[in-house]
Amino acid sequence: MENLKIDIDADGIALITIDMPKRSMNVLNEGSIADYAEAVEKVIADETIKGAVVTSGKPSFIAGADLDWILSLAEADLPGEQRAINVYETVMKLQRIMRRTENGGKPFVAAVNGLALGGGLELCLACTRRIVADDPRIQLGLPEAKVGLLPGGGGTQRFARIMGPLKALPLLLEGRALSPAEALKLGIVDEIVPAADLVSRAKAWILSSKPEDWVKPWDQKGYKAPGDDPRTMEGSLAFSAANAMNRKKTFGNYPNLDAIQKAVYDGINVPLDTALRIESRYFATLMVSDVARNMVRTQFVNLQKANKLEGRPAEVAARKVTKLGVLGAGMMGAAIAHVAAKSGIPVIVIDRDQPSADKVLDHIRAASASDLAKGRTSQAAIDKLLALLTPTTDYSALSGAELVVEAVFEDSAIKADVTGKAEAVLGADAVFASNTSSIPISSLAEASSRPEQFVGIHFFSPVERMPLVEIIMGGKTGQAALALAMDFCRQIRKTPIVVNDGRFFYTSRVFATYTTEGCLMVQEGISPVLIENAGKMAGMPVAPLALCDEISLDLIYHINKQDAKDVGRGFPGSPAEALIERMIEKERRPGKKAGKGFYDYPADGHKRLWQGLADVATLRADQPEASALIERLLVIQALEAARCLEEGIVATPADADVGAYLGWGFAPWTGGPISYIDTIGAAKFVETCRTLEASCGPRFRPSESLVRMAESGERFYALRGAAEKAA
């Protein structure tokens, strides 16, 4: 068996050690499931074996199912019904194997030495007993809800039977991971022991146990699940309340959350074998649905590829940044220095004077204060972090740095000045990067004496929390600069996407269409309340006007004016720009940081829309349906993303979707703007664009490539096997 080994000791205890070759973590896929099934049957059939301990040969236990494998079944070039059947039969194979560890007549003890998520934890739940190493870093949970699925290896049914359906639902719906101590309190694990004693304790339990100890409660006659029965008045009310709360938060965009509740409700009062078939049917139906396939593809499969630096130049040797320079100690520069120092990189931070440079230390102290108060860090750890930072005005301190990131004011002249000063002291193979969010890299590289070593590294605010980094290739950027930028992202645990040069690049360009469309709606006389609700109902994390406030209206105003100046156009160039100009110049409402923008931010209460907006734009008598606004907000972003693909700004649909998901949280249920177009279909999407073009203007005109796709029936993401058939 390639993926595990079985060792039988003198006491007749089998040790099943799962250790998949050429993988950093174990997963459940076709091969590992087949091997596990063979091992389970061997233990059950061999009369000399008393029981089995199941553990891992890696630092983690099992990270979950291989979703790329499951996705390949769901995306096969077959009729949808056949795809669902294939997924159902595959999942049922796993369910039957897990039932064998419950009712095969011998004890199986999971000795969990590390992370066990999704199918990994479900495998443990089906074991007779679960013993976990005493390590608070271990995560145990069923996170499938986060990628549009439900647990498909018995998780919904065993969780509900272990702790009761109403306690289980929040964990299933949120996909939250638990520490061993939390899992013990809920009955998800049975025992916590020192890591060194894990296997020996599991073997000892098998030797001391009796056959009656091996029967799960739900396989005993007269079993009743703990907690309220959903068929009673109390249980029915609780389920109804849970459903209402779920709808309030998600607006029905995530069918998997409904399916989780249905699986628990339908399965809790029938025998487990029937319940597992119910769960598997729901899983298969979800897996072939657009929402689940898109979410799994973007948020799991393609995100993993990005984190593995799939697009990194293979011919360039890997490098580590051992000394980083950051130019500018403002909000972005200080935050970039912070994440680098947290990864153990010494950082030189340069600003125009020493008090300005020292602000990086204040930023880190302020950012660490909350964690210190909550016991998540110590003063010693903060002091160690601060010791890695050298704030100064002296550019010569940059000598020896492999990488310098410029994060000064968004002004080409200022950036050119600091570029020259830094390059004068840098080594021959050092790379200079700009954190610009809007100015073309090729333009900024004109100030460089070595443009092949000039690259864009665009961080997102707040840098400490936002996982995405946009690496921008200038016209002359070399492969060595690209490789180092990607290596640096991995070093600081960020996810990079690589984009080509162009004004506002990819994320800022597409993201701006969302806030701009919200402003245009205000100018059209649409109720701001309706606009904001439509943004939330579309699945965007923040409504468009609220997002403008968070970015800050004065920053948007500055960027709009700078863009007009740089490209030689008039200003304001649209009703949206005119609205922002009025909010700054006349109304003096610069955004959230000032306590007033499109919203008021009272110190003693929640934010509320500014009543004065009614004077800025008169409300129309005929207000549109929310569905029409939702469509506008999603379509304008998807259309701009498609244009970026057509223009070569972003190279692949996968990069476009991952960038949208991580960069500004584009409606996660869609899988990203490109997946959204595929879901609708190019023909229908182009038809919608043309309708919106007629009513809203030329910004909705479909691109040439979309029109061609509509005519040919082409997709951005081909079904697996379709390309081979076409060839």
- Residues 523 and 131: their CA atoms lie apart, in Å, by 62
Nearest to 498 by CA among 528, 477, 527, 524: 477
Helix (H) or strand (E) holding 431: strand 431-434
3-state secondary structure of 688: helix
Residue 678's CB: how many other CB atoms inside 10 A?
25
| Half-sphere exposure in the Cβ direction for 204 (13 Å, CA) | 8
Catalytic residues: 458
Token pair listed for 432: 């200079």
Helices 653-663 and 673-680, packing angle to 10 deg: 120
Please, where are the H alpha helices in 552-697? 553-567, 575-585, 613-616, 626-647, 653-663, 673-680, 682-696
CA–CA dist 659, 673 (Å, integer)? 10
Structure tokens at 95: 């369910």
Alpha carbon 429 to chain centroid distance?
A: 34
Q: Burial, 482: exposed, middle or buried (Cβ in 10 Å; 0-12, 13-18, 19+)?
A: buried
Mapped onto helix, strand or coil, the DSSP state of residue 650 is strand
CA Rg value for the chain: 28
Question: Any idea which residue has 């409402």 for tokens?
Answer: 589
H-run or E-run covering 117:
strand 116-117
Cα separation of 689 and 662, whole Å?
25
With beta carbons less than 8 A apart as the criterion, state whether 430 and 325 touch: no
* φ/ψ of residue 163, rounded to 5: -120, 0
How many whole angstroms from its chain centre is CA 648?
24
Residue 15: CA count within 13 A, CB half-sphere: 19
Give the CA count within 13 Å in the CB-facing half-sphere of 80.
7
Q: Which helix (H) or strand (E) holds 241?
A: helix 233-250
The DSSP result for 467-524, as a single string, is -EEEEEE-TT--HHHHHHHHHHHHHTT-EEEEEE--TTTTHHHHHHHHHHHHHHHHHT
19, 155, 342, 491, 582 from 377: Cα distances, Å: 34, 34, 12, 21, 45
Instruction: List, in order, residues 6 or more apart from 559 with CB less than 8 Å away.
Output: 410, 438
What is the C-alpha separation between 252 and 524, in angstroms, rounded? 28
Q: Are 475 and 502 in contact (CB under 8 A)?
A: no
Structure tokens at 177: 């991971």
User: What residues are paired with 178 via a beta bridge?
Assistant: 140
Between CA 218 and CA 161 the distance in angstroms is 7
Task: State how far the alpha carbon of 643 is from the alpha carbons of 623, 679, 697, 700, 701, in Å.
Answer: 30, 18, 17, 11, 11
Residues 113 and 56: their CA atoms lie apart, in Å, by: 7
Q: How many CB atoms lie within 10 A of CB 105?
A: 9
Q: Which two tokens stand for residue 309?
A: 């630096």
C-alpha to C-alpha distance for 528 and 136, rounded to whole angstroms:
46
